[in-house]
Structure 1
Amino acid sequence: MGYLMDFRPPFFRGGSSNRKAAHGALGALWRLVDLPEEALDYIDLPGADPVLPSSFSVGMAAQYSMGAAALAAAEIWHLRGGGKRQRVTVDMRHAAQETRGYYTLNGTPSARYDKITGVYRCADGNWVRIHANFAHHRDGALALLGCPTGATVDRRMVEKALSRWNSFEFEQAAADAGLVVAAMRSFDEWDRHPQGIAVSQLPVVSIERIGDAPPRALPSYGADPRPLKDIRVLDLTRILAGPVGGRTLAAYGADVMLLNSPNLPNIDAIAETSRGKLSVLADLDTATGRITLGNLLRSANIFMQAYRPGALADLGFGVEDVARIRPGIIYVSLSAYGHVGPWAYRRGFDSLVQTATGFNHAEAQAAHQEAPRPLPTQILDYASGYLMAFGAQAALARQATEGGSWHVRVSLAQTGRWLRGLPRVATGLGSALPPLEPYLETTDSGFGRLAAVRHAARFSVTPARWARPSVPPGTHPTVWPFS
């Protein structure tokens, strides 16, 4: 059921032909979802790559994905009667700093990776990357390798075990076991891979109509005139890209409710990515938890989820289920490798997608080194999060003007393909990491005194801000707040 966006209703058509030239890749994103062309005259994008040490335009990727989300928020504000369009500015250096994910709690820097996480050479001479930051992934990988679990294991044991494995065979064995491992590929190898071919057919953001519903008028403004005031967002994401998407919507005024399971682990970065959000617990494996989610859903505008494809459908909250429960919903899905192809159900994280799709190999070549080289930030996560916020708002504008329920899809692999399309930076690897201090703000949170990078998008009329501090899971009751 449904169709991809292959039409242009009047609200989304461009106007006169003498408008200013669009901002390159941002203009392409904007036109992909058919938002009004004239809005592109109201964004400023100062700065130029390189701003971080990379041969890829990571600064541009951060700036343009965030700029798309911020400009969409300004367009929502205009649509809600905000008057003349306001200006949006996204400085490239500031946006890139936001994607570094830096924060401190009570003066202590954020935790680093598990000692087993990283790259290893295999018997075929190729490399694999193991993601072991969650205990069950770590112990599963060690068990597959025949290594002991616990504090006694070290990298030398893992290196010895992997020296007997073919990299691609280990990648497949790990996937079969539900683990998160990626073998390194070049861009050419990824482009020939069945999943690479499948992803090449997808846009960076897709929006599909999934059901009929009358247009729902956007709430009128109260005392807070921010663009997404009183827009309700259910955030069922846990790691990084999804939480960044929800955090971005919260910065623009949405009531974002992070819904966690009491039985699943979270990463320490939840203290930073939960800024601006309500935080509740519900166990969706129980009838009570599913009833709780259903009750919250009945007055939500946006439903964001990053479960493995098909997992929420098994619990009664797939796309069609949610559109039936809440006609007019904007359902936003994030995946690692896209929703089509043989890897559609495969788990993955930013670092693994970088390895599997060619970025680690390309960056290593640019650095004239043999070992895989990661990008300087988890840019696939951050850009995907901003693109989730962008797509959600584009669909929200469409719902308000013509009705319908809508499905927005983003994946790390699709974002990676988009990043590949941006210019390479010949001198980028020679850049130094710029200082973070000018971009930090310090606030009290439910986790302690939090210092983190403030949001880089600036609005001329409605400044972005996080009105709520980040708090531990389950702090709030499972009800929406009154306006």
Structure 2
Amino acid sequence: MMTAPDRTFLDTLWQALGGAAGEAARVTLTGAGSLPSVFPVSDLAVASVAVAGLALGDLMDGGQVTADRRLASAWFASSLRPQGWTPPPPWDPVAGDYPAADGWIRLHTNAPHHRAAALSVLGVAGEREAVARAVAGWTAGALETAVVAAGGCAAEMRGADAWAAHPQGRAVARAPLLTLEAAGRGAPVDWTRHSARPLAGIRVLDLTRVLAGPVATRFLAGYGAQVLRLDPPDWDEPGVVPEVTLGKRCARLDLKRPDGRAVFEALLAQADVLVHGYRPDALARLGLDSARRRALNPGLVDISLDAYGWAGPWAGRRGFDSLVQMSCGIAEAGMRRQGRDRPTPLPVQALDHATGYILAAMALRGLAHRRRTGQGTAGRTSLAATARLLMAGGEGAADAVPPAPETPADWAPGVEHTAWGPARRLAAPLTVAGVPPAWDRPAEPLGASAPTWA
């Protein structure tokens, strides 16, 4: 049975995507249970999965969409079930929450250069106890400012009221959940659509990292799109790569070198969709601003995300799901409402995962527009916008029944032969016109493929 919060999130997302009123009635939500949280995380999980399915169904000229609440909640944690091996740990040993002199701060140190920035500010080696002692001598706000200025990633824990009064919180509150605008003009997309692989023939260039963007492109790959992920020569994120590279080819390309940019421009000219999660000015500094991208590919569906929104003083700030949860009041609300003595984030990185499905829906809406008109699309959203959506959904039910425990019967058929070892995947939480996603390629390491369209 569809509950009111489910319908509210779904309707809000579909309206933000420009969907026609009443079309969300084509969505059937199944399954039961709620992840334990002070916010309605499972409602958001199933609604974001469903809206991506609804956008795909619209591109396919209709079709019933079914999304499973229990499976969607599980996918927000992980879809991967390794068989006889263990994925690398998701967090650097220094990453985490620390008590400062006047509150709490989170340091995000998974990337080596982010770790180096934080340690340089604190003046200590990378040993957790030494970091904790050094953090205790700072106020949280001063340390956040210093780490960010050094090129690192950190977030002071703020309550929702403090975020609402903050200049960036006000900017996020004024901004729409997402934007989709017609841009440029190319040839209409009218690829041959197969009922089981409706995106076959669509080329997606993926310039995203960690979770939100990779979740989006994983979804597109699941319905047949050819996804080529590009990473810099020195980038790695070992804790999440086996989870998010499913269905993709992963290559390395140095966009700071003229020859790398030339290869990228040739790839972009042949792409249908670009999804990128670089900070707003990063591509522009490489000579690849929106005007250049549009000149190279007038009909491109150009979809971008950032952490803290596209306006306000933090528009260019580095950020991740866990940092946004600290900044906007989610972690503080979890601590306060659950009577904990430390920041209490959501049980999963729901901002990342939900934003990923929203990005996929944005790309699909852009493809539908190009199919009709020949015009390209430029779209933007942020993790902070998704946080605002979740928090506007009210509190999670304190007495909610958790999802039923997983069993091997919940796994998709077959073994995935990843580069790390055999694995099973959780069954997909979505069908569109009776068709679930299916991936043609197992997960592969970053840089395993050449930077070419297959």
TM over 0.5, shorter chain: yes
Cα distance in 2 for partners of 1:202, 1:36 equals: 21
| Structure 1 residue ranges without an equivalent (≥5) | 1-21, 79-84
Give the match for residue 73 of structure 1. 56
Q: CA deviation at 1:400?
A: 1.8
Q: Tell me: CA distance 1:426–1:33, structure 2 relative to 1, closer, same or farther (3 Å).
A: closer
Secondary structure (helix, strand or coil) at the match of 1:115 reads: coil
Q: CA deviation at 1:65?
A: 0.8
Cα distance in 1 for partners of 2:186, 2:134 equals: 59
1:43 aligns with 2:20: no
Alignment of 1:402-441 (within 5 A): 402-427=373-398, 431=402, 434-435=405-406, 437-441=408-412
Cα distance in 1 for partners of 2:411, 2:335 equals: 31
Secondary structure (helix, strand or coil) at the match of 2:181 reads: strand
Report if the CA contact (8 A) 2:49-2:430 is conserved.
yes
Name the stretch that deviates more: 98-107 or 388-397.
98-107
Give the match for residue 63 of structure 2. 86
Alignment of 1:265-414 (within 5 A): 265-414=236-385
Partner amino acid for 1:275? L
Cα distance in 2 for partners of 1:433, 1:312 equals: 44
Give the match for residue 198 of structure 1. 171
Relative to the length of structure 2, the TM-score reads 0.93
Cα distance in 1 for partners of 2:433, 2:403 equals: 31
Partner amino acid for 2:42? G
Partner amino acid for 2:60? W
Among residues 141, 154, 162, which one is paired with 1:168 in the alignment?
141
Give the match for residue 119 of structure 2. 142
Report if the CA contact (8 A) 1:233-1:254 is conserved.
yes
Give the match for residue 264 of structure 1. 235
Cα distance in 1 for partners of 2:189, 2:107 equals: 47
Report if the CA contact (8 A) 1:54-1:429 is conserved.
no
Give the match for residue 18 of structure 2. 34
Partner amino acid for 2:68? D
Give the match for residue 189 of structure 2. 217
Partner amino acid for 2:94? I
Secondary structure (helix, strand or coil) at the match of 2:205 reads: strand
Q: Tell me: CA distance 1:430–1:118, structure 2 relative to 1, closer, same or farther (3 Å).
A: farther
The superposition leaves residues 200-219 of structure 1 with CA deviations (integer Å, 9 ceiling, x where unpaired) of: 1122221123x331451321
Report if the CA contact (8 A) 1:63-1:95 is conserved.
yes
Q: CA deviation at 1:420?
A: 0.8
Q: CA deviation at 1:196?
A: 0.3
Q: CA deviation at 1:438?
A: 4.2
Name the stretch that deviates more: 437-446 or 57-66.
437-446
Q: CA deviation at 1:448?
A: 2.0
Report if the CA contact (8 A) 1:137-1:179 is conserved.
yes
Cα distance in 2 for partners of 1:448, 1:24 equals: 41
Q: CA deviation at 1:36?
A: 3.6
Report if the CA contact (8 A) 1:443-1:449 is conserved.
yes
Q: Tell me: CA distance 1:318–1:191, structure 2 relative to 1, closer, same or farther (3 Å).
A: same
Q: CA deviation at 1:403?
A: 3.1
Alignment of 1:450-469 (within 5 A): 450-469=423-442
Secondary structure (helix, strand or coil) at the match of 2:30 reads: coil
Q: CA deviation at 1:225?
A: 4.2
Partner amino acid for 1:132? T
Cα distance in 2 for partners of 1:218, 1:29 equals: 26
Report if the CA contact (8 A) 1:227-1:462 is conserved.
no
Give the match for residue 123 of structure 1. 101
Report if the CA contact (8 A) 1:52-1:433 is conserved.
no
Cα distance in 1 for partners of 2:190, 2:399 equals: 44
Report if the CA contact (8 A) 1:69-1:386 is conserved.
yes
Give the match for residue 45 of structure 2. 62
Cα distance in 2 for partners of 1:463, 1:440 equals: 13
Cα distance in 2 for partners of 1:307, 1:436 equals: 38
Q: CA deviation at 1:432?
A: 7.5
Q: CA deviation at 1:233?
A: 0.5
Cα distance in 1 for partners of 2:225, 2:300 equals: 15
Q: CA deviation at 1:474?
A: 2.9
Relative to the length of structure 1, the TM-score reads 0.88
Give the match for residue 444 of structure 1. 417
Partner amino acid for 1:115? P
Name the stretch that deviates more: 376-385 or 429-438.
429-438
Cα distance in 2 for partners of 1:446, 1:113 equals: 21
1:133 aligns with 2:110: yes
Secondary structure (helix, strand or coil) at the match of 2:175 reads: coil
The superposition leaves residues 391-429 of structure 1 with CA deviations (integer Å, 9 ceiling, x where unpaired) of: 111121112212322211111101100111213123158
| Structure 2 residue ranges without an equivalent (≥5) | 1-5
Secondary structure (helix, strand or coil) at the match of 2:109 reads: coil
Q: Tell me: CA distance 1:102–1:405, structure 2 relative to 1, closer, same or farther (3 Å).
A: closer
Cα distance in 1 for partners of 2:82, 2:332 equals: 34
